[in-house]
């Protein structure tokens, strides 16, 4: 029987990729496929979102020949040193990180991704599927759908005059944008709320309350925050970061070319003005964005894509 072990960084801060590794393990266990998150430190577990995920540390696992090991792309270099001869999947949640662990050693990248232990590569967006299929046309590559938790991220019509953003990326761009908006003096009572040092549930609540979300996505494999904001009915303005291109639909979001802060500021002013003149029309955009995200990026789609990717590798 196959056990699945998913390696995960010992990071207890809001990182979407870590959340999705935990989701992956939970999905497999709910479908009777024994699976564990593997951390490096003993007794380490993520606490910024609620979970009862099965967790082990790397020194306590006993890997057998029929088992399956899944490594994030940032640890792909460990393919050669961890459990030689055991089947492995590289779960590449961000193609921009593909070269990160290899210190510009392109030959080692080829060696790892074409290694006989690596039976599959998984990605999380159309963009990354194209990238990895182009780089490794002979490799078995599967797309995982990132599901948005509809119990936390859902449309709320009672919007505050609140603009939300996450500063983990794009802090400098936001500061310049903030200067432009302040000089223009057109905020019309809107305030900016920073989503930082909050629990997962607190972040979701702020998005549900916010009328606008500013996206500073940069070199993203998918980009969960703008998708979660859309699910909450926010008007999303900003960068898609490439990975989010597939859901930054023209009639549902306001896409801004990377670093075009002048047009970014103009678009924020336009949306604020639209809220003032015709708030029902902006709420309708938010409602349609929420419906689109929760239909196309549901937890059911996530579960189905995970099982489609993994079932043929599971030995009963």
**What integer is the mean pLDDT of 102-126?**
95
Is residue 66 classed exposed, middle or buried when 0-12, 13-18 and 19+ CB atoms within 10 A define those classes?
middle
285-306 tens-digit pLDDT = 999 999 999 999 999 999 999 9
- 262 vs 270: CA distance, rounded Å: 12
Domains of the chain listed by start with CATH number: 4-147+299-313 (3.40.50.2000), 160-296 (3.40.50.2000)
pLDDT for residue 316 is more than 80: no
Q: Provide the pLDDT for residue 188.
A: 84
Predicted TM-score (pTM) of the model is 0.95
User: What integer best gives the mean pLDDT of the chain?
Assistant: 95
How many alpha carbons fall within 13 Å on the CB side of residue 97? 19
CB 170 within 8 A of CB 239: yes
Q: Provide the pLDDT for residue 216.
A: 96
Q: Provide the pLDDT for residue 311.
A: 96
Beta bridge partners of 68: 4, 87
- 302 vs 312: CA distance, rounded Å: 17
150-159 tens-digit pLDDT = 999 999 999 9
pLDDT more than 70, % of the chain: 100
**What integer is the mean pLDDT of 45-64?**
94
pLDDT band for 190, please (50, 70, 90 cuts).
very high
pLDDT for residue 130 is more than 80: yes
Q: Provide the pLDDT for residue 247.
A: 98
Q: Provide the pLDDT for residue 263.
A: 96
pLDDT band for 169, please (50, 70, 90 cuts).
confident
Q: Provide the pLDDT for residue 118.
A: 98
């Amino acid at each position: 029987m196959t056990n699945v072990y998913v390696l995960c960084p010992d990071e207890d801060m809001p990182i979407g990729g870590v959340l999705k590794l935990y989701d992956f393990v939970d999905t497999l266990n709910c479908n009777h496929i024994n699976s564990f998150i593997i951390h490096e430190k003993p007794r380490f577990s993520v606490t910024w979102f609620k979970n009862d995920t099965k967790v082990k540390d790397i020194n306590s696992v006993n890997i057998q020949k029929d088992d399956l090991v899944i490594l994030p792309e940032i640890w792909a270099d460990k393919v050669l040193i961890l459990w030689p001869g055991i089947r492995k999947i590289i779960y590449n949640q961000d193609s921009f990180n593909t070269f990160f662990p290899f210190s510009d050693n392109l030959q080692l990248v080829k060696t790892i991704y074409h290694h006989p232990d690596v039976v599959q590569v998984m990605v999380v967006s159309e963009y990354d599927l194209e990238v990895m299929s182009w780089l490794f046309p002979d490799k078995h590559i599967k797309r995982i759908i990132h599901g948005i938790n509809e119990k936390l991220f859902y449309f709320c019509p009672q919007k505050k005059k609140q603009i939300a953003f996450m500063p983990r990326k794009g802090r400098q761009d936001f500061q310049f944008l903030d200067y432009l908006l302040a000089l223009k003096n057109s905020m019309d009572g809107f305030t900016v709320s920073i989503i930082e040092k909050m629990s997962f549930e607190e972040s979701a609540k702020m998005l549900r309350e916010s009328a606008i979300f500013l996206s500073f996505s940069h070199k993203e494999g998918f980009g969960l925050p703008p998708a979660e904001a859309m699910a909450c009915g926010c008007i999303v303005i900003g960068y898609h970061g490439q990975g989010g291109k597939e859901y930054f639909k023209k009639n549902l979001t306001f896409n801004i070319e990377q670093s075009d802060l002048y047009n970014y500021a103009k678009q924020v002013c336009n949306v604020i003005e639209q809220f003032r003149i015709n708030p029902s029309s902006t709420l309708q955009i938010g409602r349609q964005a929420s419906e689109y995200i929760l239909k196309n990026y549901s937890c059911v789609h996530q579960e189905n894509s995970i099982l489609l990717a993994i079932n043929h590798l599971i030995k009963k």
